[in-house]
Structure 1
């Protein structure tokens, strides 16, 4: 796990405040293994008391995943880079010429900035990754919901101190960092709720092993009724996805490869949730899914026992359609096969 460190070397890398000539900001770079065909730079705005994101610039990726875009700033800003699937925040001063590269399979770990402000943005990317690792560590260590509040409060306090150190290292960004720290403090309640849900989910994963799952109902591609009982007699792998879900679609090549290799003895069932039925039919047919199910929004309550609150999500059932796991690895991990 990376931990943010602020030695004298970082303190010596303060961004020069020499004035840029009047020119637009430019951001270029490359996305390796892109999940979409466009990238965006967005800015947080408040309209009628509500926060939202305004797109400053957008660019189509070329054949190599490269992009170039330009936008205008009149002051230092915290901006959001969005690749159509994940986001990262970076800081920009007026007129800066910046570059970034990343690999979508290792988004946070591979994110790298070059050009103007590279020192501060790479430091902040490292901080964001360290923060995420810290949250994940606390979430992994938390065994019950009774102590979540004190664990989260202690972590927020530690991260706030690190943020203050960054503000000292980069004084021109002090105000923006203060805003981010305030947002982190305000988000503590959400984090507590998320961790409590995670703890409950981990318990549910254990509780559901061996439970039958024959009563799940949906529709097939012809609009007829479909229930999982049809697949009894084989190991069955379930993929909960949606046509709008970038991470879901990124897993499709690996899912299809497994289906091709093991489909003669294992059922691979793609289950669309929170989706448009017509779009689901079109994409399912184009992908050539061997087994496909659509669950209308009105029927999603049947998924509550399995805590399907986010996608993609994978489950494995035995030949009697009893649950092996409701939290199987993603196809691209190479770990799903151990359940076959």
Structure 2
């Protein structure tokens, strides 16, 4: 009887022991219309590439510090929260990337919040701020801050890393956006309708030179960009499609590269070589020119370009229609073209 008692006691002790928490994340999922054969999970201190199968499925384990990471599928990216012990499954369709990201499994609550947060912020910030006056802009951003704060506070049970990050980043994010649009409003007030600053004999990718004056007689849509600028490169497909659609219209498309030696190993020759290589590799159309002094060129400084991409629209007489025009991917650009009978 004693032996049986001891055995039962030992069994009871074993049964009461807590199952060890796994010290890694299991991440799996399926991507519809995948952009690449792999995805990347990364932060400043961590990076891991995960293979995506031909049917869009993927699965791997990651040993991480609890925190926010960037999920990149080769075309777009999203924020994901990872913590060792999670068994997380995600699904998305690249044709509606942000709108279709969804999570199941352990850790899904935190990550579904991040997906909803991204959509909510995007919706609230998708307004025609540049057409407002400064007073209306300020009031609009105060309302956005109130709405987002209410949204964040309505979610309970989230990891403190997420709630702390959302709270800390809100004001800087909104202030950065408001400052950008305030500068646009002031820029439009100061420059719209006035003669455009010009560039003279900028090096053309075909070996010739181009001056802005030589393009008078048509509208000119200018893209100020650089080969190292991710948002600039994200606009390339839309810009190429736009150039094709308006090829026979009363408009010329010009891309002005501000690549310089500072971002190309201290060498202007390398900056130019990298620019020419991308023009060739991406089969960029329109007029491709390079600003001879990068950001410091008079044309760039006269337009007060302090962030790229920047898009500029000039009329056939050489006057400024919009010193900070909509991007190629923005439907408002075609609406503007239509209003001008382009």
Q: TM-score, normalised by structure 1?
A: 0.71
Equivalent residue number for residue 235 of structure 2: 251
SS of 1:331's equivalent in the other structure is: coil
Per-residue CA deviations over 1:69-126 (Å, capped at 9, x if unaligned) read 43114x6433332346754333233232323344567543333223332233212321
Call closer, same or farther: CA 1:134–1:222 in 2, change over 3 Å. closer
Distance across 2 between alignment mates of 1:309 and 1:63? 42
After alignment, is 87-96 or 33-42 more displaced? 33-42
After alignment, is 323-332 or 20-29 more displaced? 20-29
Q: 2:327 aligns with which of 327, 330, 333?
A: 330
Unpaired runs of 5+ residues, structure 2, are 1-17, 261-270
Give yes or no for the alignment of 1:179 onto 2:164: yes
Distance across 2 between alignment mates of 1:329 and 1:146? 20
Is the Cα contact below 8 Å between 2:222 and 2:256 reproduced in 1? Answer: yes
Answer with 1 or 2: which has the greater Rg. 2
RMSD after superposition: 3.8
Q: 2:179 aligns with which of 191, 196, 202?
A: 196
Call closer, same or farther: CA 1:307–1:72 in 2, change over 3 Å. same
Distance across 2 between alignment mates of 1:103 and 1:66? 12
Equivalent residue number for residue 26 of structure 1: 26
Equivalent residue number for residue 40 of structure 1: 40
Is the Cα contact below 8 Å between 2:35 and 2:75 reproduced in 1? Answer: yes
Call closer, same or farther: CA 1:161–1:102 in 2, change over 3 Å. same
Equivalent residue number for residue 169 of structure 1: 157
Is the Cα contact below 8 Å between 1:201 and 1:307 reproduced in 2? Answer: no
SS of 1:248's equivalent in the other structure is: helix
Give yes or no for the alignment of 1:236 onto 2:220: yes
Q: 1:95 aligns with which of 85, 89, 96?
A: 85
Give yes or no for the alignment of 1:226 onto 2:222: no
Aligned residues: 306
Call closer, same or farther: CA 1:153–1:102 in 2, change over 3 Å. same
Q: 1:282 aligns with which of 265, 272, 277?
A: 277
Deviation at 1:234, TM superposition (A): 1.7
Is the Cα contact below 8 Å between 2:224 and 2:258 reproduced in 1? Answer: yes
Per-residue CA deviations over 1:211-265 (Å, capped at 9, x if unaligned) read 2225124322266653211211222221222223344334333323333343344
Call closer, same or farther: CA 1:201–1:90 in 2, change over 3 Å. same
Deviation at 1:141, TM superposition (A): 9.9
Deviation at 1:131, TM superposition (A): 3.8
Per-residue CA deviations over 1:162-206 (Å, capped at 9, x if unaligned) read 44443x333xx2x3235315523xx63564354134223123224
Distance across 2 between alignment mates of 1:322 and 1:251? 25
Is the Cα contact below 8 Å between 1:58 and 1:69 reproduced in 2? Answer: no
SS of 1:314's equivalent in the other structure is: strand
Equivalent residue number for residue 303 of structure 2: 306
After alignment, is 187-196 or 269-278 more displaced? 187-196
Is the Cα contact below 8 Å between 1:248 and 1:311 reproduced in 2? Answer: yes
Between 1 and 2, higher relative CO (CA 8 Å, sep ≥ 6) is seen in 1
Is the Cα contact below 8 Å between 1:152 and 1:188 reproduced in 2? Answer: no
Call closer, same or farther: CA 1:85–1:260 in 2, change over 3 Å. closer
Unpaired runs of 5+ residues, structure 1, are 1-17, 44-52
Equivalent residue number for residue 62 of structure 2: 71
